[in-house]
Amino acid sequence: MNASHAVVIGGGFAGLSTAINLAHKGISVTLLEKNDHVGGRARIWESKGFTFDMGPSWYWMPDVFEDFFGRFGKKVSDYYELHRLDPGYDVFFPDDERVSVDASMERLKAWMEKLEPGSFAKLTKFLDEAEYKYKVGINDLVYKPSRSITEFIDIRLLKGLIRMDVFSSMRNHVNTYFTHPYLRQLMEFPILFLGAVPSNTPALYSLMNYADLKLGTWYPKGGMYSVVRAMESLAIEKGVTIRCNAEVTGFTYDGKSINGVCVGEEILDADVVVAGADYHHVDRQLLPEDKSNYSERYWDKRKLAPSSLLFYIGIDKKIENMEHHSLYFDAPFDQHADAIYTNPRWPETPLYYVSNTSKTDPNAAPKGCEALTFLIPLAPNLEDSEDMREQYFHKIMDRFEATMGQNIRDHIVLKRSYAMNDFVNDYHAYKGNAYGLANTLDQTAILKPGLKNKHLKNLYYTGQLTVPGPGVPPSIISGIVVAEEISKDFKTLKKKPQTV
């Protein structure tokens, strides 16, 4: 089969990555994005001199970004400046207990030894194992398209399966090393990025602890949107045509292939189509029943990663004694997890996260001001109303002001909330999910929704609901993987210039 023109649906990290990789192979690519700018969940909001990354704010795994740009003979530094945050982040526990996760781990060590003597030596061993998992996981496993179990029948991987801890849970793994509940919680924190609870997540993912504590937390100058801008520039350099305000509404077919992508009344020709929009939206809302990969029942049974309630707040003063990233774990974790995963409800006492970008980046807020983003993880599909959002705003503000010992509410000059209904309206997010599908054992690799449509020869999927999973680095990798699969399945041909 030949392919000279691809249409990519959605301008998030996965769609941009796919478009760049396909264009690099010589194929002509049109990327269609429903919103007025690309970035998807990583869009930006600017108002009254404040700038907010609307979604991701943690830049982890810098090697993945370097590898991405390196594929095209570029470096991250060709596009944006990267700084390692030190401390990477602060965590607040009950009883005024606070820890800074510093790059040298000196402060972390002192804190750990205070709570549990001997625990830092255990951390060193824990991280050695995590490093092994990271290296095998990131260099090998995550780049597998997961179309067949045979991809994983590799002696090195089979031998390493036990060491990779695929079949034990992250919770058990952490518990064998650490006893103090705060240490356990700190080690379990990176799992929250995978959208699942530690008891349900393979211990393989302690690789995230290596990413956290060894590789560090970074900040791209200008915010996470600088990465989107970089990928947008690279896509344009590669000749990708990017069209915003172009919502895909359906397809036309020629037997077992799509031959046209509909944007309202307009139909664009396509040899290959890659859906980087939410998988469920394309599968169930854009395709007819006989061409969709999975039933509504299948989707309903998936364990989604959480949705979120976010507040983007501009205040007219500086906050003292606050780092760029702070986690407020001063409430029972298991109760909040139960409210997300087991008995979906608004949590009684939520854990929350605050990003204070202007601490690092003076351009994020006017002089003397602060740009703050508050995030509460929530179960997807909860009833979302202005009243509820406001109630939770005050719930966390009461605690935030008490913990930090500073008044915030009297200084607010800008405020916007964002939650489930917005995720649905802006991104067609299934059940208003924020992070896609949880990386539980039964939703890993070949057990995830597949990257290829079973009924149509030229429709593929990419992004956080398929392999390898949620998060910015996995979404970028997802685009690489799907482009590789297309070039295996199709002969990608340079498009001939059109003659008039």
Ligand X SMILES: Cc1cc2nc3c(=O)[nH]c(=O)nc-3n(C[C@H](O)[C@H](O)[C@H](O)COP(=O)(O)OP(=O)(O)OC[C@H]3O[C@@H](n4cnc5c(N)ncnc54)[C@H](O)[C@@H]3O)c2cc1C
Task: For ligand X, give the closer residue by CB, 27 or 231.
Answer: 231
Interacting residues with ligand X between 276 and 315 (CB under 6 A): 276-278, 281, 308, 310
**Owner of token pair 């700038």:** 51
As given in the structure block, the two tokens for residue 453 are 């449509």
Contact of 217 with 84, CB cutoff 8 Å? yes
The length of the chain is 500
Task: For ligand X, give the closer residue by CB, 42 or 382.
Answer: 42
Distance CA 291, CA 251 (A): 11
Select the span of 53-61, 120-128, 136-144, 452-460 touching ligand X (CB under 6 A): 53-61
Select the span of 80-88, 332-340, 427-435, 440-448 touching ligand X (CB under 6 A): 427-435
Q: Does 428 bind ligand X (CB under 6 A)?
A: yes
Task: For ligand X, give the closer residue by CB, 112 or 340.
Answer: 340
Q: Which of 50, 52, 58, 92 binds ligand X (CB under 6 A)?
A: 58
- CB of residue 496 vs ligand X: minimum separation in angstroms? 27
In DSSP notation, 440-464 reads: -GGGSGGGSPPSB-SS-TTEEE-ST
Enter the DSSP assignment of 437.
Answer: B
Neighbours of 117 (CB within 10 A): 9
Q: Does 187 bind ligand X (CB under 6 A)?
A: no
CA pseudo-torsion sign 20, 137, 443, 155 = positive
Q: Does 216 bind ligand X (CB under 6 A)?
A: no
Q: Which of 6, 7, 8, 10 binds ligand X (CB under 6 A)?
A: 10
Select the span of 39-47, 105-113, 132-140, 406-414 touching ligand X (CB under 6 A): 39-47
Amino acid symbol at 460: Y
Exposure class string for 385-421: b at 16+ Cβ within 10 A, else e: eeebbeebbebbbebbeeebebebeebeebeebbbbb
Query: For residue 182, which phi and psi values (nearest 5 degrees)?
Result: -70, -35
As given in the structure block, the two tokens for residue 10 are 């959605």
Count of residues in contact with ligand X, rule CB under 6 A: 38
CA pseudo-torsion sign 363, 36, 450, 301 = positive
Q: Does 85 bind ligand X (CB under 6 A)?
A: no
Strand-pairing partners, residue 301, are none
Task: For ligand X, give the closer residue by CB, 198 or 471.
Answer: 471
Interacting residues with ligand X between 359 and 398 (CB under 6 A): 375
Q: Which of 4, 5, 26, 35 binds ligand X (CB under 6 A)?
A: 35
The pairing of strands 2-3 and 491-492 is: parallel
Interacting residues with ligand X between 453 and 492 (CB under 6 A): 463-464, 470-472, 475
Q: Does 33 bind ligand X (CB under 6 A)?
A: yes
- CB of residue 281 vs ligand X: minimum separation in angstroms? 5
Task: For ligand X, give the closer residue by CB, 102 or 278.
Answer: 278
Distance CA 479, CA 121 (A): 39
Binding mask 12-31 toward ligand X (x if CB under 6 A, else -) reads xxxx----------------
Query: For residue 136, which phi and psi values (nearest 5 degrees)?
Result: -70, -45
Preceding amide of 468 cis, omega within 30: yes
Q: Does 184 bind ligand X (CB under 6 A)?
A: no
As given in the structure block, the two tokens for residue 103 are 């790059």
Q: Which of 97, 116, 131, 247 binds ligand X (CB under 6 A)?
A: 247
Q: Does 207 bind ligand X (CB under 6 A)?
A: no
Interacting residues with ligand X between 96 and 155 (CB under 6 A): none
Q: Does 223 bind ligand X (CB under 6 A)?
A: no
**Owner of token pair 């896609």:** 436
Give the footprint of ligand X on this chain (CB under 6 A): 9-15, 32-35, 40-42, 55-58, 247-248, 276-278, 281, 308, 310, 375, 427-428, 434-436, 463-464, 470-472, 475
